[in-house]
Amino acid sequence: MRAYGRRHRRWSRRNPQPLLLVPDEPLTLVVLAAIGRTLFRYRSELAPVFLALVLIVTGSVLHHTRPDAWPLVAVVTVLAGTVVAVRGWPWGLTRTAERAYAAITTAFSGGWLTTVTALGPTRSPLPTILFLAVIALGVPWWAHRRRRARVRVDRVINAWPNLAEMIGLAGSRIMSAVVDTWGWRARIKLRPGQSVTDLVARVPAIESALGTRPGAVRIEQDPAHAGRCTMRVLAMDPHAGAIPWPGPTARTLADPIELGVFEDATPVQVAMLRRHALIGGTTDSGKSGVLNVILGNLAACTDVVLWGIDLKGGMELRPWASCLARLATTPDEATDLLADAVAILDARAHASSHDNTRVWEPTPKAPALVIVIDEYAELADTAPDAVGHAESVARRGRAVAVDLLAATQRPTQKAMGGGALRSQMSIRVCLRVRERRDVDLILDKGMLADGWHAYTLDAPGKFYVLADGHNQPRRARAYLVTDDLVHQTAARYADQRPDLDPLSRAAIDNQLKPIEPPRPTADDPEQTLLTALDQAPADGLTVPELIDLTGMRRTWIYDRLQAHATAGRARQVTRGRWRA
């Protein structure tokens, strides 16, 4: 008996019996509920069939109760068709094709109902005509992209509670959704305790749950409520192609400049007056394109003088030479140019203090000064003396309308002079970057965590902008300015460029020129170093200048300076400057 029991248990484990779930409801109710759920799920696809059934039932009732009411039905049909064709009411249709389709459907439905009211629904060939009309008018309905998009959005809204729980956003819900040209957007209310940062961190999981392509989901904070946001899902990329530049939109520096368009087709407008700008991005990300858009607008302004620094031999800024009052292509020229800019802002500040005016208002006779620097990191490496002038302009130049526009690949603290200049940039344009940490370098700390994912930008000219009025991570694409447009624009506005005001010209002419550092000819580097320190000007010599004079390496210079400082033969005048 025990052996039989063991064999029976062993057989039961190897051959388990299926578990049968018997519903408490009758089978008929279960089937009807399943059919009802299916009809409700596919209610949009079955809309032509439902409309045909409604017409049949309504026509039968009218034919048996009020067969003489067909003139009234005809009049209502004409009025309804006219309203739909002209106003798109009550569905709010704005496209001509959609209005035409709705008007044709309304006219046919009303005409068929009028005929059925008078003759009856079974009169031949009315049933055949209705069947053919359902097929003919149903094909455009079934193939309509926006209708199918609305159906998908409705299904996402219904499934969102389950999706949110799977991706770690349980408790959030979709308040409303709208289908647009490129996809759809939804307003989401978060559970108390959740923030938009939680949503941004789960964007890849949201894209996986919705079944979209990578990079299709955008999250934007609701400025009026910390627990709400807008989720935008793009079915296709609105910035897949280049956007031609329509031409300059600014005529004075106070006018906003259009850099490009956002993904919702609204223009990206930034004001350059009394603001420094930084453009950052990796190679082939479109920095030159953004610079050309800004220069094209500034060239059309009659109240701004343009100076340029391009240490690549003028490769980038040379096409705009006819609109640039000065163009520096060597480190010495760049240093002199920035020194003159400091002299101008000093003179303007002195004049403003005497006139009791806090800001310099640009006019064609007293224009603003904008200094465009391409590849600022190259300037910091090859012209270290210019860095101090640039930082002085960045700190003090905005009130007197002396502004900087700098472009660089990676604005590290070393490249930007310890970060002092970068912190003064109130307009920041971030194009594609290779490393995630570069987002915080260009924009600001914490921007990567807030959703400014510039490392995902996949085409030249796509960018994020951080400026007044642009505090949300919205993708944009800059206008494409071709070489022909650059030459045409430069030639068009070359004769309209203003000159510096007399005060600024006098400041440049009257400033004291710096004393050239001595260049000893002794072959002994130690003696050369001592001679240079003895003959150094009052503000001392920089380490790069001592390297150039002695021909020795930086480590040797630092070791000898420390030794001479200990022996009392050298001292540090200011940070980085030495003399005897």
The reply to whether 188 and 86 lie within a common domain is: no
Quick one: pLDDT at residue 518? Answer: 42
pLDDT band for position 444 (50/70/90)? confident
> Of 123, 136, 106, whose CA–CA distance to 59 is shortest?
123
The reply to whether 158 and 217 lie within a common domain is: yes
Place of tokens 């800024």: 317
> Could you give the residue ranges of the DSSP H alpha helices within 18-69?
27-41, 47-65
List, in sequence order, every residue forming a beta bridge with 189; answer none if it has no partner. Answer: 173, 228
pLDDT band for position 298 (50/70/90)? very high
Q: Which of 207, 234, 261 is the last residue of a domain?
A: 234
The pLDDT of 51-72, averaged and rounded, is 90
Q: How far apart are the first and last CA of the chain?
A: 111
* Alpha-carbon gap, residue 373 to 393, rounded angstroms: 13
* Alpha-carbon gap, residue 471 to 177, rounded angstroms: 23
183 is in an annotated binding site: no
The reply to whether 68 and 124 lie within a common domain is: yes
> Of 172, 140, 141, whose CA–CA distance to 156 is shortest?
172
The reply to whether 170 and 274 lie within a common domain is: no
Residue 36 belongs to a domain = no
Query: Across the chain, what does the average pLDDT equal?
Result: 85
Looking only at the bridges linking them, the beta strands covering 277-280 and 267-270 are unpaired
446 is in an annotated binding site: no
Under the phi-then-psi rule, with left for phi > 0, alpha for psi from -120 to 50, and beta for the rest, what region is 224?
alpha
Residue 32 belongs to a domain = no
Kindly give the interhelix angle for 47-65 and 96-119, rounded to the nearest 10 degrees.
30
Residue 34 belongs to a domain = no
The reply to whether 60 and 172 lie within a common domain is: no
The reply to whether 135 and 151 lie within a common domain is: no
Quick one: pLDDT at residue 142? Answer: 84
pLDDT band for position 300 (50/70/90)? very high
Quick one: pLDDT at residue 276? Answer: 93
* Alpha-carbon gap, residue 118 to 113, rounded angstroms: 9
Largest CA distance in the chain: 121
Quick one: pLDDT at residue 429? Answer: 94
pLDDT band for position 536 (50/70/90)? confident
* Alpha-carbon gap, residue 307 to 500, rounded angstroms: 11
Residue 188 belongs to a domain = yes
Residue 302 belongs to a domain = yes
Quick one: pLDDT at residue 417? Answer: 53
* Alpha-carbon gap, residue 297 to 482, rounded angstroms: 14
pLDDT at 88 exceeding the cut of 70: yes
Q: Which of 111, 142, 173 is the last residue of a domain?
A: 142
Quick one: pLDDT at residue 437? Answer: 85
pLDDT at 499 exceeding the cut of 60: yes
Task: Give how far Cα 159 sits from Cα of 163, 175, 187, 507, Å.
Answer: 6, 13, 15, 69
pLDDT at 405 exceeding the cut of 90: yes
Quick one: pLDDT at residue 98? Answer: 85
- Strand, coil or helix: 407: strand
Quick one: pLDDT at residue 169? Answer: 92
283 is in an annotated binding site: yes
Q: What is the CATH number of the domain that holds 179?
A: 3.30.980.40
* Spatial contact of 578 and 536, defined as CB atoms under 8 Å apart: yes
Gyration radius of the chain over CA positions: 36
CA 419 to chain centre: 24
Q: φ, ψ for residue 261 (rounded to 5)?
A: -135, 150
The pLDDT of 464-482, averaged and rounded, is 91
Residue 88 belongs to a domain = yes
385 is in an annotated binding site: no
Which strands make up the sheet holding 541-542, listed edge to edge?
A: 541-542, 577-579, 571-574
313 is in an annotated binding site: no
Q: Which of 120, 142, 164 is the last residue of a domain?
A: 142
One DSSP character per residue, 301-327 reads -TTEEEEEEETTTTTTTGGGGGG-SEE
* Alpha-carbon gap, residue 242 to 480, rounded angstroms: 6
Quick one: pLDDT at residue 522? Answer: 43
The reply to whether 203 and 265 lie within a common domain is: no
Looking only at the bridges linking them, the beta strands covering 476-480 and 243-244 are parallel
The pLDDT of 53-61, averaged and rounded, is 91
The reply to whether 466 and 539 lie within a common domain is: no
Name the domain count of the chain.
4
281 is in an annotated binding site: yes
- 129: which residues sit within 8 A by CB, 6+ positions away? 112
The reply to whether 270 and 350 lie within a common domain is: yes
pLDDT at 2 exceeding the cut of 80: no
pLDDT at 480 exceeding the cut of 80: yes
Looking only at the bridges linking them, the beta strands covering 217-221 and 402-408 are unpaired
List, in sequence order, every residue forming a beta bridge with 429; answer none if it has no partner. Answer: 279, 465
The pLDDT of 283-293, averaged and rounded, is 91
Kindly give the interhelix angle for 96-119 and 70-87, rounded to the nearest 10 degrees.
180
195 is in an annotated binding site: no
- 416: which residues sit within 8 A by CB, 6+ positions away? 376, 377, 380, 408, 422
pLDDT band for position 372 (50/70/90)? very high
Quick one: pLDDT at residue 16? Answer: 62
> Could you give the residue ranges of the DSSP H alpha helices within 216-330?
287-299
Given 3-state DSSP classes, what are the helix, strand and coil percentages for the chain, each rounded to the nearest 5?
A: 50, 15, 35
The reply to whether 168 and 281 lie within a common domain is: no
Please state the length of the chain: 580
The dihedral formed by the CA atoms of 380, 385, 388 and 393, expressed in degrees to the nearest 10: -90
* Residue 165: how many other CB atoms lie within 10 Å: 12
* Alpha-carbon gap, residue 316 to 298, rounded angstroms: 16
The reply to whether 167 and 121 lie within a common domain is: no
pLDDT band for position 291 (50/70/90)? very high
Q: What is the CATH number of the domain that holds 570?
A: 1.10.10.10
pLDDT at 349 exceeding the cut of 50: yes
* Alpha-carbon gap, residue 6 to 14, rounded angstroms: 12
What is the pTM assigned to this prediction?
0.68
Q: Which of 145-154, 220-229, 374-383 has the lowest mean pLDDT?
A: 145-154
Q: Which helix (H) or strand (E) holds 202?
A: none
How many percent of the chain have pLDDT more than 70?
Answer: 92
- The two structure tokens encoding residue 363: 């006019």
List the domain range (segments joined by +) for residue 223: 146-234
Q: What is the CATH number of the domain that holds 434?
A: 3.40.50.300
Residue 6 belongs to a domain = no
Quick one: pLDDT at residue 511? Answer: 63
The reply to whether 183 and 131 lie within a common domain is: no
Residue 68 belongs to a domain = yes
